[in-house]
Amino acid sequence: MSFVDIPASHGRLEGLFWQVENPVGAALVCHPHPMHGGTMHNHITYRMAQAFRERRISALRFNFRGVGRSTGTYDDGRGEVTDAKEALDFLQRSQPGVPLYVGGFSFGCRTGLQLTIQDERVERMLAVGLGVDVFDVEFVTQLRKRTAFIHADRDEYGTLKHLRALLERVPGPTQLFELANSDHLATGRLDAFSAVAATALDWLLAK
């Protein structure tokens, strides 16, 4: 694992790049809300990257603008999609010729879903903890790419019921994986999260 500086329109993004030998893919992993302590070092974000790496997929985590050593300032989700695209540019240059995936947790989940819908280079996504009750997520109904959703049964920012209702209106292939007995941050349930993430990735990468 190595720290990297990712060129960005506002200067640079700080990243952590977990490269594997002879990768079968490369994944960009987006962290939770920058205004609520979210960084690329978040436990869920780390375990998502770890799950990709265990499947011989190089994983790039990065700090959104204004977080850590990344330049710029918080942009209410708009500029953060640009950050994710520029990080994807870096990932594609660093790992040419392999499929590109996106993973995201919470705020990073929403941002990653926007990138996945907008950018044809992204083939599939691992979407964790989508805040269906706090964000406007109607745009998700445009999702056409294979996406695995992981959601805690006691998530404070969105109920399973509301997420299921949203996914019923998504045209692309999706699968919902429930993290039992857990809050949004998987407090005390990180090992259980890793197990669910492994199952979700097996489904995501199966076809």
Q: What is the DSSP string of 120-177?
A: TTEEEEEEE---TTTS--GGGGG--S-EEEEEETT-TT--HHHHHHHHTT--S-EEEE
* Percent of the chain whose predicted confidence (pLDDT) is above 90: 99
Lookup: tokens for 135: 């964000």
Domain count for the chain, please give it.
1
Domain that holds residue 10: 2-204
Helix axes 107-118, 78-94, angle to 10 degrees: 70
Report the mean per-residue pLDDT for the chain.
97
pLDDT in tens, 134-146: 999 999 999 999 9
Pairing of strands 57-62, 11-18: antiparallel
pTM for the structure as a whole: 0.97
Report the CATH number that the domain containing residue 19 is assigned in CATH: 3.40.50.1820
Residues 187, 202: Cα–Cα separation, whole Å: 24
pLDDT in tens, 62-108: 999 999 999 999 999 999 999 999 999 999 999 999 999 999 999 99
User: Is the per-residue pLDDT at 207 higher than 80?
Assistant: no
Residues 75, 79: Cα–Cα separation, whole Å: 5
Q: How far is CA 47 from CA 43, 59, 103, 195, in A?
A: 6, 11, 11, 10
Residues 91, 121: Cα–Cα separation, whole Å: 11
* Sole residue written with tokens 């019921």: 161
The SS3 of residue 47 is: helix
